[in-house]
Amino acid sequence: MLKPLTVASLLALACSACVASHETGPVAVTLHGQQFTAELATDEAAREHGLMMRTALAANHGMLFVFPDTAPRGFWMKNTLIPLDILYFDAERKLVSAQLDVPPCKVDPCPIYPSTGPARYVLELSAGTVKRLGVRDGDMLAIRGDVGPVD
């Protein structure tokens, strides 16, 4: 017979293993031949927080927002301290629109930067990246890694 403390410890370990199996780390994304490491935002809380309060973003890093559906999207820069390129991709991961060199929000309410078409994926990169790479509408986004559950 197991001691009560041992049973509790085993249950705690089992539960932590279940939680860990649903967590996802950064993924590799490739756009126009350039690979980036992208943090994931796959739930409402992560999508809402995004890159807020960051003072820098490495040139080869970004954030990939994954939505459960394809719809027109709009992003704002509230509490975002760095300028960004915001790229909107459809369900097939084709670039449908981009907002370039979006500045940090300095006034309240912050302006909204919308997609011009329905999007399921949104990639935020350091401002100037799209121009530097020559990215164009219709370019495909490759995602390598597990985006995990999306809600």
The CATH number of the domain holding residue 134 is 2.60.120.1140
Looking at residue 2, what is its pLDDT?
Answer: 44
Residue 13 lies in a domain: no
Q: Are 85 and 36 in contact (CB under 8 A)?
A: no
For residue 91, what are the contacts with CB-CB under 8 A and spacing of at least 6? Answer: 70, 120
**CA 117, chain centre distance (Å):** 18
Find the farthest-apart pair of alpha carbons in the chain and give their distance in angstroms, rounded.
66
Residue 1 lies in a domain: no
List per-block mean pLDDT (blocks of 10 residues) for the chain, which spans 151 residues.
41 36 74 97 95 94 97 96 98 98 94 97 98 97 92 87
Residue 6 lies in a domain: no
78: its two tokens: 């509230």
Looking at residue 16, what is its pLDDT?
Answer: 35
- Exposure of 63 in the CB half-sphere (CA atoms within 13 A): 21
108: its two tokens: 């309240």
Looking at residue 148, what is its pLDDT?
Answer: 86
User: The domain containing residue 112 runs over which residues?
Assistant: 25-144
Residue 103 lies in a domain: yes
67: its two tokens: 């939505």
Looking at residue 91, what is its pLDDT?
Answer: 97
Strand, helix or coil for residue 87:
strand
109: preceding bond cis by omega (within 30 degrees): yes
Domain count, the chain: 1
Looking at residue 6, what is its pLDDT?
Answer: 41
116: its two tokens: 């011009």
Looking at residue 45, what is its pLDDT?
Answer: 95
